[in-house]
Chains A and B, each alone.
Chain A
Amino acid sequence: MNGSVGPMRVLVTGGSGLVGRAIERVVKKEGEEREGEEWIFLSSKEANLMSAEETRAAFEKHHPTHVIHLAAMVGGLFRNMRQNLDFWRYNVFINDNVLQAAHEFGVVKVVSCLSTCIFPDKTTYPIDETMIHNGPPHESNFGYAFAKRMIDVQNRAYFQQYGLRYTAVIPTNVFGPHDNFNIDDGHVLPGLIHKTYLAKKEGKPLQVWGSGRALRQFIYSLDLARLFLWVLREYDEVEPIILSGTRDVFDIVFLVGNGKADGQFKKTASNAKLRKYLPDFKFTPFRAAVKETCDWFVANYDAARK
């Protein structure tokens, strides 16, 4: 329970996704990996985490001491709206399988991944970590949102019953290489990147939907990855922590969507808690991060998920 487990073996579920790849890069290429550590990046090909048996088999094979839990059933705006039951049930299974296997295999710490999209639809701003359960989430993806919220409930219950300090982070809008750049999904930046790429390639105008005045906070996947490592190593609370850039730098005035579902006007999240812990953390300048992502997209267009 005090964390001294010898060398850390970190299992990253959802290892091949946007955040998983960023963590992999930060760990392997940017020197964040420490002596004796082992990092395992699990993808759905290796284990279907909706199955308790397959999850257990993955834990038996890798025997992690720590887990970064990123795996989830995700989908675009429209799939969510039509399949709230599947998004609720399958994510509850994935989360319960991973958290329970972690508990059974003596994992010292799990850091799961929530999202600002799960916060109450009707709320005051800025949103902070204490407000997650203060009202129903937006109707469009309530299945997904409640499943994510229940990670926090389960974390608190592991602490109450067993003293385990499993926790979670709450990133704002993430972007970066290896994203899913599907245009209809309703994720602001990857959709915009894809549309701009096509407009340029086809010599057509770039059409952006929405009032243009909606506000969002963004976080570059590599910055998020560095913060994930800090949470894994140093953050000691069970209560989750919002990971977001400062509002001044990252407000953006485009909203990509379509006429049917514009999304919320603003979802300002507070990063006061993060700033209390890490007053000097430097986020990648927004324009530089966007450029890197666009360059990656161009170089990997054929293989990119879209």
Chain B
Amino acid sequence: WSGSMDGSVGPMRVLVTGGSGLVGRAIERVVKEGGGREGEKWIFLSSKEANLVSAQETRAAFEKHRPTHVIHLAAMVGGLYRNMRQNLDFWRNNVHINDNVLNMSHEFGVVKVVSCLSTCVFPDKTTYPIDETMMHNGAPHDSNYGYAYAKRMIDVHNRALFQQYGRKYTAVIPTNMFGAHDNYNIEDGHVMPGLIHKTYLAKKEGKPLQVWGSGRALRQFIYSLDLARLFLWVLREYDEVEPIILSVGEEDELTVKDAVDAVVEAFGFEGEVIVSFHTNNFKFTPFKQAVKETCDWFAANYDTARK
């Protein structure tokens, strides 16, 4: 048994599940660079050490490390296409991971668990801006509902733990993250890492940078190191069970084009940037050809054209 309900547990032993991922690595760096405190011990768990889908392996990890606190980042994640085809696996495996970690935490007397949700789990049909109270107000987007519901149920589990045992386990809801140690797979559909990888290749191969989408879509981005600092604040100071959105303000929302500009500048990319709409299968008329066709029409229809 390692702690009382008021948080006084002696030195903190923090177990970070999913420790080798984008956020885990950021937390590790922030802790090393002065974010950690005297006497604290930080353990970064990766899937190599324990398969958290298994109750036995999760228990073994808790027995070995005896944490007082947990930052729970581990999940089965995948790109857009894998999610769309495997909603069952994303639902079941994430429910098992989350139940194992939350249940072992409770059993081992962990004082606080901070889990990680995502703005992608919110209702598909909604008003804006989204806030923390709206998470269960409708079905998530159809493409990844298995993953989305599994994440939402972390919040249900947290509230049930509070109702039945008074435990204040909670969760954060980051917006679009980016940073070092990400998965830069282009097909996955994550804006920033995909863009970074594509620009790198375009520069290396001397080809144009092709960006899909209108470029006008708006996103709130959060740098992984900022997110890590906020995670530490939540772990130490945030006292609610209701989750908290971690994001830059609405006033700092950016277009995807802003993101493209930033990445292009960062790489010193000087090639052509082509923004095309929505799908990589659609063949747009070459720009100059489209302009010529339009001019020819104008000349032929000058008298009747609206002007």
> Which residues from chain A sit less than 8 Å from chain B, CB to CB?
82-89, 92, 96, 100, 133-136, 142-143, 146, 150, 153-154, 156-158, 160-162
Contact = CB atoms under 8 A, between A and B. Distances in A.
Interface in B138-159: 138-139, 145-146, 149, 153, 156-157, 159
Contacts of A100: 92
A157 B138 contact: no
Contacts of A134: 137-139
Contacts, number: 71
A82 B153 CA distance: 19
A143 B158 CA distance: 11
A88 B157 contact: yes
A161 B86 contact: yes
Contact of A89 (B89, B99, B138): B99
A87 B160 CA distance: 9
Interface string B149-173: 1000100110111011100000000
Contact of B88 (A87, A135, A157): A157
B164 A82 contact: yes
Interface of B: 85-89, 91-92, 95, 99, 103, 136-139, 145-146, 149, 153, 156-157, 159-161, 163-165
Interface of A is mostly: helix
Contacts of A162: 88
A89 B137 CA distance: 22
25 contacts: A82-B164, A84-B160, A84-B164, A85-B157, A85-B160, A85-B161, A85-B165, A87-B160, A88-B160, A92-B95, A135-B136, A135-B137, A135-B138, A142-B159, A142-B160, A150-B153, A153-B145, A153-B146, A154-B88, A156-B87, A156-B145, A157-B87, A157-B146, A160-B87, A161-B86
B95 A96 contact: yes
A153 B149 CA distance: 8
Given A133-B139, A135-B138, A154-B91, 13 more contacts: A82-B164, A83-B164, A85-B157, A85-B164, A85-B165, A89-B157, A135-B137, A153-B146, A157-B87, A158-B88, A161-B87, A161-B88, A162-B88
A122 to B, nearest CB: 9
A150 B138 contact: no
For the complex of A and B, list the 7 residue pairs with the smallest distance between their C-beta atoms, beginning with the closest. Answer: A157-B88, A85-B160, A84-B160, A85-B164, A157-B87, A161-B88, A136-B136
A153 B156 CA distance: 15
Contacts of A153: 91, 145-146, 149
Contacts of B149: 150, 153
A154 B161 CA distance: 23
Nearest to B85: A161
Nearest to A93: B99
* B136, B138, B139, B156: residue with the most chain A Cβ atoms closer than 10 Å: B156
A157 B164 contact: no
Nearest to A136: B136
Nearest to B163: A84
A276 B244 CA distance: 44
A143 B156 contact: yes
Nearest to B146: A157
A160 B88 contact: yes
